[in-house]
Amino acid sequence: MYTELNSILSTTPDSFTQGEFILLSDRKSDASFLIHHFLSFYLRARCKVCFLGLVQSFSHYSAVSQRLGISLTQAKEKGQLIFLEGLTESLSVLIPQVTSTGNKAMDFLRDPSVGLRSLYEFVQSSVTSSGGGEEEWGPPVLLVDDLSALLSLGVSAGAVLDFSHYCQATVCSQLQGNMVMLVRCDGEEEEDDWDDGGSELLLKGLTHQCSLTLHVQGLPTGYCRDIHGQVEVCWRRRQGDGQNTQKKLFQYKVHDKGASFFARGTSSAVL
């Protein structure tokens, strides 16, 4: 958990906004450090966390979280963390020789055209279940790393947006929990990519759904040893018939057990 980022977002594990959809994205950079931040943040906040790890193993997330002072193994054992290891679950569906775990969440791989209903039902069951433990947890949180991986598995951008919409309705609106999703974009940003059906379409669609975005990208000047990149933080709040948007730009450097952020500029507008 990065205290400087908490300060930027005006939040702490003891006091944070509920019902929020946070969108993480990156371009020519790596926003994974933000996933690790929010995972440790919400576990420290004693939230019930459903984590869809679609691109890395549990051991990977566990090793990073350990450096941040969080044990994912203990969180799982206590029922606070429900983790879907997408790599293992995908193999059990795609390769008959691999022993099935009995989880139906990745069944869409048999026919991506049917959509992500099975994955949504896994999320819905995870965030509404009591977990069977003795401890009571705070509001549910859904984390996804990363949503654009579904595109490479043959799912359409429209189906992924539908999945996000249903998850937001359940987690954020119905249960007043939070949702954090990561999307990766390849190549240069285009002015109009609504027809390409890929990650740009997904990013733009999700941007309209979320209340907070953190977009990570490389420095315009290229590589720098002391600065790893920049993050644009954008808050979106309803204001009358329009939407108030405030943006701040920060440069950052990731350390082994944290990250430093350096303010670069501020702009605001009412759309």
CATH number, residue 103: 3.40.50.300
Query: Is it the case that residue 271 has pLDDT exceeding 50?
Result: no
What whole-number distance in Å separates Cα of residue 84 and Cα of residue 3? 27
The answer to whether residue 241 is domain-embedded is no
| Closest C-alpha to 127, from 90, 80, 95, 165 | 80
The structural domain count of the chain equals 1
Question: How do 138-145 and 242-254 pair as beta strands?
Answer: unpaired
- Rounded to two decimals, the pTM is 0.89
Q: Tell me, yes or no, whether 237 lies in a domain.
A: no
Q: 263 in a domain, yes or no? A: no
Indicate if the pLDDT at residue 270 is higher than 60. no
Domain membership flag for residue 270: no
Q: Is residue 127 a contact partner of residue 168, using CB atoms and an 8 Å limit?
A: no
Q: Is 21 part of any domain?
A: yes
Separation between Cα atoms, residue 268 and residue 235, nearest integer Å: 10
48 inside domain: yes
- Range of the structural domain that residue 180 is part of: 17-185+192-211
Contact between 29 and 216 under an 8 Å Cβ cutoff? The reply is: yes
Query: Residue 149: inside a domain, yes or no?
Result: yes
Residue 8 lies in a domain: no
Query: Amino acid identity of 233?
Result: V
Which of 79-83, 106-110, 193-197 is predicted with the least confidence, judged by mean pLDDT? 193-197
Q: How confident is the model at residue 101 (pLDDT cuts 50, 70, 90)?
A: low
Q: Map tokens 């420095």 to a residue.
A: 219
Q: According to the model, what pLDDT value does residue 267 have?
A: 39
Alpha carbon 118 to chain centroid, angstroms: 19
Answer yes or no: are the C-beta atoms of 138 and 48 closer than 8 Å: yes
Predicted confidence (pLDDT) at residue 167 exceeds the cutoff of 90: yes
